[in-house]
């Protein structure tokens, strides 16, 4: 299966059943096992919103493909912040998990690790 078929436009995501999906949002930059574990712990069907990030390590489209490649992920969208708010309001997901803050901490941790390794 081409996992890119899981990546939906916002209009297609609005066709999902209301109050039926779990929505997880984040940057997923420097996609790591902690992301996969966090998503695997959520109930299906799972819609993942991959948000844009200033100074990203990977382009948003690439991060969306990585998220879509996970078996536990049913759908992926790539909205901006205001589009995400509108999608949440429209879909009324049964559960919302916002991972942006933890994602920023993970990216910061990764960058610090690389800097420490280069300083040796």
Report pLDDT for 104: 87
Domain 3-119 = CATH 3.40.50.620: yes
Report pLDDT for 1: 57
What residues pair up with 75 in beta bridges, in sequence order? 47
Cβ contact 103:29 at 8 Å: yes
Report pLDDT for 52: 97
Report pLDDT for 117: 87
Domain edges within the chain: 3-119
Report pLDDT for 70: 96
* Average pLDDT, consecutive stretches of 10 residues, N- to C-terminus, the chain (120 residues): 87 96 95 92 97 94 96 97 96 96 85 86
């Amino acid at each position: 299966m081409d996992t890119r078929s899981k990546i939906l436009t916002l209009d297609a995501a609005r066709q999902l059943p209301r109050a039926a999906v779990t929505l997880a949002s984040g940057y997923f930059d420097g996609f790591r096992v902690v992301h996969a574990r966090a998503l695997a712990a959520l109930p299906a069907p799972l819609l993942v919103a991959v948000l844009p990030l200033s100074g990203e390590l990977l382009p948003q489209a690439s991060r969306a493909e990585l998220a879509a490649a996970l078996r536990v992920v049913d759908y992926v969208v790539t909205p901006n912040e205001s589009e995400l708010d509108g999608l949440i309001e429209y879909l009324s997901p049964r559960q919302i998990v916002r991972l942006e803050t933890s994602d920023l901490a993970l990216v910061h941790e990764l960058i610090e690790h690389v800097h420490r390794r280069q300083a040796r």
